[in-house]
Amino acid sequence: MGDRVLPVDVSTVQERVYLEVQAALHQGRFMPGEAVTIRSLAQAVGTSPMPIRGAIQRLVAEKALVQLPNRTFRVAPFDLDIHAEQTRIRCAVEGFAAYRAAIRAPAGLVDELRDANGTMRGAVAAGDTDGVLDANRQFHFALYRGAESSQLTEMITQFWLRSGPFIAMALRTPESRTMFEAGTRLHDRIIDAIGKQDPDGARFALALDIRAAAAWFRRRYRSEQSDPGEGSPAA
């Protein structure tokens, strides 16, 4: 019978709401600091306030949203100081995951990383920014799964949840192409270090990758701030 009917989605409305809002945040569809209300979200996704509550509480716990003293919710705030701090933390945490992945080097990891990086190259060549971001994410999380620590992966996911401003910048900036091309070369260095089971090399190359993307973002961000056009952050 299993070949005649497909599995059905048994997730709850709250889970689906959570995934939709999480994706919107991650893709930078909300501005940092923007107010988010239970009733407006409920209206937008077509449910009652109840499932929105649970989803929003979870996103607050994950620090993608913040709840103010007057109990209203906003998208987590953002500025270059916050960004610099996040970059330092990411280098430490994700660098450690890369270090561990190089030590454990489970079977198939190098092939999986090469595949994801190859897909990313193809997407860059095609000018497909959505595809680039997706492949980049595939690459990084394949690497972090290689560390074989679900706690680490969860922690890293929460930081990625707050990369909305970067994602939005990449999507509206054609010049992101050269930044991503450079990123695929840094990915090559990470793969090489994993292949040689060189943990320090993996950590170092991973940190270069994160810092290069952060530097690109900072330059673009400052440029947009000094020349305010559309898309400037609210906070």
Backbone angles phi, psi at 8, to 5 degrees: -105, 145
- Told to check if 9 binds a copy of itself by CB under 8 A, we report yes
Report if residue 64 touches DNA, rule: CB under 7 A.
no
Report if residue 197 touches DNA, rule: CB under 7 A.
Answer: no
Should residue 230 be labelled a site residue for a copy of itself when binding is judged by CB under 8 A? no
Tokens 């897909």 found at = 119
Phi, psi of 35 (to 5 degrees): -75, 145
Residue 7 touches which of DNA, a copy of itself, none (Cβ within 5-8 Å per kind) = a copy of itself
Residue with tokens 């170092």: 204
Number of residues in contact with a copy of itself under rule CB under 8 A: 25
Calculate the CA 83 to chain-centre distance: 13
Of these partners, DNA, a copy of itself, none, which one is at the site of residue 29 (CB under 5 to 8 Å by kind)?
A: a copy of itself
Query: For 139, which DSSP code?
Result: H
Single residue of 40, 158, 178, 197 touching DNA by CB under 7 A: 40
Listed ranges 15-23, 113-121, 148-156, 195-203: which one lies at the site for a copy of itself (CB under 8 A): 15-23
3-state secondary structure of 175: coil
Asked if 73 is part of the footprint of DNA (rule: CB under 7 A), the reply reads yes
* In the complex, least distance from residue 207 CB atom to a copy of itself, rounded to whole angstroms: 33
From the CB of 181, what's the least distance to a copy of itself, in Å?
30
232 binds, among DNA, a copy of itself, none (CB under 5 to 8 A by kind): none
Of 43 and 223, which has the nearer Cβ to DNA? 43
Distance CA(21)–CA(6), nearest Å, equals 27
Q: Does 63 bind DNA (CB under 7 A)?
A: no
Identify how many contiguous H helices and E strands the chain contains and give both numbers: 10, 3
Query: Is residue 70 at the binding interface for DNA, with CB under 7 A as the rule?
Result: yes
Q: Rounded to whole angstroms, how far apart are CA atoms 128 and 130? A: 6
Give CA separation, 175 vs 14, 21, 172, 220, in Å: 38, 28, 9, 10
Q: How far is the CB of 52 from a copy of itself (least distance, A)?
A: 10
Q: Give the nearest distance from C-beta 226 to a copy of itself in angstroms.
A: 27
**Under rule CB under 8 A, which residues in 22-51 are in contact with a copy of itself?**
24, 29-30, 36, 40-41, 43-47
SS3 227: coil
**Could you tell me the smallest distance in angstroms from the CB atom of residue 35 to DNA?**
7
Non-local CB neighbours of 221 within 8 Å, separated by 6+ positions: 80, 83, 165, 169
